[in-house]
Structure 1
């Protein structure tokens, strides 16, 4: 089903560039474009460019949830960020909801099918999954625990990414208000726990730092692994330079889960903004849009203490080398 045991995770916000996806493909991995936060036209343009490489690839979609009901809490949180907004000279917008151009993106992927589509933040109606499959697309759910896997299988997906809580960036948990499931010490253990209940191939993701981690995940029953953080510092990555630098900086000794930037749980390097806003309300994507000007201004100012520095727990293994070299090291580690 998959052309490689190594998948480069889709990282939204400009990190998973076309160059990263194609370079991973050329190095015998499988790259994924991240369609989150993009228009359908921009997604289509990237698909067209990557398709020209004649390499297998995939596209990741954010499945939209319902609008937030806690509007007063979101506005109060926005107001509390006023002093920091003044510091950066930006105006924070009102919380707003959108579906991330979901309908248009599905129409595009049905008109111009891609080999793989992965889904994050839940599942769409079964009819959408079947329609993509009818076009020849392999549909992959992203799940974090057993009940989500069972729901995904009932929806008829072809495979499932098992995302451990150690993964960087947004948690794919279906219920954003649910606490992280930390019962499994690592993704290999989580995979082994879920394998007896799996009727589809499983892909392990989260906290993978090298060949031994990958071997353990595959030995536990995964058919492939998905790695994101290890590609962040590559020249092909679209991560901003302060983000890349922070991954190797001793001033950031740990990662933590936070809702402070987007209103949805996500793991990143713990910085001042995260520490000062541990009680941020739920509300995605509303809060994502509220903090967007702050994050952009902090990035422009080179201030990592107010940026969303998404990273998994294995971030110290990320090196400033090319994506092909990362793939080569990880794939070579499978033979040891």
Structure 2
């Protein structure tokens, strides 16, 4: 089924299974290496790191694996969707969120800050680090960056939430793309239109549309956590799959013990699309932060200013073992995978899958 696969051939990996690159410090060098060592493509979301930190990260991953891996960055936008920022709006929002800081014994912020590092510095470091793959969300890098990647043998991987975005990535010369459905955890990587909950497409609706529209390899993401999802994605035209939540629940990830525990609950966990964490729409586990801000007249400041307010709340909440204000990314598929080690999860994803059939008594059995 996976012979002559364009993704495995291009990237030099054994299996067409990619680990999702987690932001907010949820990635880890250990998880990236474990996935790569198991024959997939490990990944690290490095958007919160400086150039120097990216170089140190790449060195750390290479100390743990000799196999290919992926580093992910966020493309800066010229303007953010939503209301414009102003002093009056900022002051009103800070007053609104102040009680959360006081509850956690934190000094309320005097203003919202931009916590991001310089993108050009990050790209320079990434090019020097030379990962097998440079993946990105929220847009398309400048042509000179794509050309520099090609010169260095770095494959480029963009994210699309619509056919229009997929076509834009292909026209720009990106090597392959991720078709990201609404089920996926973390941020919605839309870049041509503001993502609206009422118009988002599921993975298995979006995937065949994108597959029919482009000629470059397509990787399915969102709602995939076991071999059934992998098989379904390939049946609809995927060349590979990207799995986030199931890997995030593994012990090697950078998620907190509380976060990983919630992701492994057999009954799953309740997720919601919210701007409360960063100012951009993302899927997180529902908690006091998401519910309180949803009821406010102004749910969130623009990205990335909102992150400077929610990060200290998340850290303090996690340290107390509380989910109230923690920022815990999760896809709708949370709870389906019960594997605690990345190698075990990888083995289950690539093992021969025996379809389930109904027994005469109505129970499901393996053939």
On whether the aligned pair clears a TM of 0.5, the verdict is: yes
CA distance in 2: counterparts of 1:213 and 1:249, whole angstroms: 19
What's the CA shift for 1:13? 2.2
Among 332, 357, 363, the alignment partner of 1:313 is 332
Matches within 5 A, 1:1-336: 1-2=10-11, 3=13, 4-52=15-63, 53-66=65-78, 69-71=84-86, 72-93=88-109, 94-97=111-114, 99-174=116-191, 177-180=194-197, 182=199, 184=201, 186-248=202-264, 253-278=269-294, 279-281=298-300, 283-332=302-351
Answer with 1 or 2: which has the greater Rg. Answer: 2
CA distance in 1: counterparts of 2:117 and 2:218, whole angstroms: 27
Check conservation: 1:109, 1:132, Cα contact below 8 A: no
What's the CA shift for 1:252? 7.3
Structure 2: gaps spanning 5 or more residues: 1-9, 356-367
Check conservation: 2:268, 2:336, Cα contact below 8 A: no
CA distance in 1: counterparts of 2:108 and 2:160, whole angstroms: 33
Q: Specify whether residues 299 and 325 from structure 1 end up closer, same or farther in structure 2 by C-alpha distance, changes over 3 A only.
A: same
Check conservation: 2:219, 2:239, Cα contact below 8 A: yes
Check conservation: 1:61, 1:120, Cα contact below 8 A: yes
Q: What TM-score does the superposition give when structure 2 sets the normalisation length? A: 0.85
CA distance in 1: counterparts of 2:179 and 2:198, whole angstroms: 12
Check conservation: 2:245, 2:263, Cα contact below 8 A: no
Larger mean Cα displacement after TM superposition, 64-73 or 224-233: 64-73
CA distance in 2: counterparts of 1:322 and 1:252, whole angstroms: 18
What's the CA shift for 1:75? 3.8
Q: 1:105-158 deviations in whole A, cap 9, x for unaligned?
A: 211222332210001111221221122112111011111111111111121100
What's the CA shift for 1:270? 1.1
Q: Specify whether residues 51 and 253 from structure 1 end up closer, same or farther in structure 2 by C-alpha distance, changes over 3 A only.
A: closer
Q: What TM-score does the superposition give when structure 1 sets the normalisation length? A: 0.93
Structure 1: gaps spanning 5 or more residues: none
Q: Specify whether residues 251 and 139 from structure 1 end up closer, same or farther in structure 2 by C-alpha distance, changes over 3 A only.
A: closer
CA distance in 1: counterparts of 2:153 and 2:253, whole angstroms: 29
Check conservation: 2:284, 2:328, Cα contact below 8 A: yes
What's the CA shift for 1:282? 5.1
Check conservation: 2:138, 2:189, Cα contact below 8 A: yes
SS at match of 1:60: strand
Check conservation: 2:263, 2:269, Cα contact below 8 A: no
CA distance in 2: counterparts of 1:29 and 1:335, whole angstroms: 22
Q: 1:28-73 deviations in whole A, cap 9, x for unaligned?
A: 1110121121111111111112224211111101111236532343
